[in-house]
Structure formats: C-alpha cells, structure tokens
Amino acid sequence: MITDILTMMWKEARELFAQRTGLRGGWIGLLVLIAVFGVLMPLQSGAEWLSAPTTILLWAWVPFILVNSVVADSFAGERERHTLETLLASRLSDRAILFGKIGAAIVYGWGITLIGLLVALVTINIAHGEGELLLFPLQIGVTIVSLSFLIAWLAAGLGILVSLRAASVRQAQQTLSLAFLFLFIPLFLLPLLPDSLRDEVSRLVSGLDFQVLGIAFIASLLTVDLVLLAAAMKLFNRARLILSQP
C-alpha cells in the first residue's frame, strides 16, 4: 500500500513538474511567493519577524494558496484528459490512488512552505544576524511547521472532495475559489460590525490564553482534516467516477 501511494505521488509530481516547464509555466509564481514571504517580508520586519505571532498567521496561509493552485486538477484533470479510466482499470487500490493524490498535494504545498521558511531564516541571518545564529523560538517554529502541514492537508482534502465531483478542472477551480472566499468572510465582516460589538469581540479575544487557543485550533483543524479524508474515502467510488466521464 505504501509503495503504491508513493508510486501515485511520483506520477503526480512528474505531471506537476512537466506542467511547470519554463518560467511562464508557473515557476515564476512560486518564485514571487518565496521572494515575498521568504525575502521581502523578513527584510522589512527585521529579527523580530522570527518571534512575532503574526508570522504564524502569514505562513499558515502559504500552503493553502499553494495546494489550492494544484489540487483542482487531481481527479477533474484526469477525467478531462481521459486518463482516469485507465488508472482505475489498473491494480492500484482506491486508497492508494486517493492517498497518493492527497499526499502529493500536501507534499507540494507544505514542502514549498518549508523551503520558504528556510529562505526566510537565511535572509534574517544575513541581514540581521550580526555573526549570531538567529532561529525561530521553539514554540513558534513547531507551531508554524505543524499548522502549515494541517492547513496543507485541509486544502488538499477540500480540493480532492471538490475535484472528485467536478466535471472539469475549471469547475473545480471555481468551486474552490468560492470556498476560499468563504473562509475569509469573517475577516470581511469584522469591520462591518457595530462598534460596540467589535469592542466586545476585541475584549473577548484579548482575554484568551493564546497557548490554549492555539492547541484548540490545531486540534479542531486535525479533526476537520480527518473528517475531510473520511468524506473523500466515502466519495471515492470507481463506478461513479467511470460513469461521470465526459
């Protein structure tokens, strides 16, 4: 099973890299992302950037954006390019195909996030190190790494669910864009709240224990990720996938 998942991930990675040949094929987008999050922002913020809680929030969204950009293609792309039926007619089990596709999306999003983090660390050390090795405080470092992993998983799980049902890559991308907007609705709504209600929210938030809040958030995220994975496993049905082919 593990070998089959790795085989599936190998194929997904080859396709992803084949798709991104040349700067115009998508590498430039990745380079810009790494340049902004790994070079520009650390340079502007200075050494405090390593220990600021906002850093966690910033890095948490990077894998979401990255995974979202590729995951729509997972099943909808195979369906559109007529490769799905041959794949389903192979000896690969349902789980190997599903986990391979989810795994590839997570590794892509999380892997590039980790590279970005390393670039940021190198930038801070070069610009502000003054001969001393600067690192993330342990708690923040662990939180960023685990949170970015869980967010990558969230985006992959959500994307796979949408891609499994979508008739085309375009449709999957549109649905995922809507989901993406939906996640930001609280941020858009906050400024629209009456002043009294906003003050109440601020009072509530400032009174919270961030450590407990962080743990609760990670635990909830893990639960949501597991629910999405279970839903994708339930939804993966060879007959349904075959019959939904164009």
| Residues lying near another protein in the complex (CB under 8 A) | 3-4, 7, 10-11, 14-15, 18-19, 81-83, 85-93, 238-239, 242-243
Smallest distance, Å, CB 25 to another protein? 10
In contact, 156 and 67? CB cutoff 8 Å:
yes
Smallest distance, Å, CB 7 to another protein? 4
- Encode 194-226: b = buried (16+ Cβ within 10 Å), e = exposed: eeeeeeeeeeeeeeeeeeeebeeeeeebeeebe
Among 228, 106, 63, 218, residue whose Cα is nearest residue 157: 228
**Smaller CB distance to another protein: residue 5 or 150?**
5
**Smaller CB distance to another protein: residue 54 or 237?**
237
Smallest distance, Å, CB 86 to another protein? 3
Smallest distance, Å, CB 80 to another protein? 11
**Smaller CB distance to another protein: residue 12 or 225?**
12
152 Ramachandran zone, left/alpha/beta (phi>0; psi -120 to 50)? alpha
Smallest distance, Å, CB 72 to another protein? 16
**Smaller CB distance to another protein: residue 79 or 136?**
79
Q: 166 exposed, middle or buried (CB, 10 Å; 0-12, 13-18, 19+)?
A: buried
**Smaller CB distance to another protein: residue 79 or 156?**
79
Smallest distance, Å, CB 175 to another protein? 24
**Smaller CB distance to another protein: residue 19 or 202?**
19
Rounded-to-integer distance, Cα 91 and Cα 4, Å: 10
Q: Is 222 helix (H, G, I), strand (E, B) or coil?
A: helix
What the block records as the tokens of 170 is 């375009």
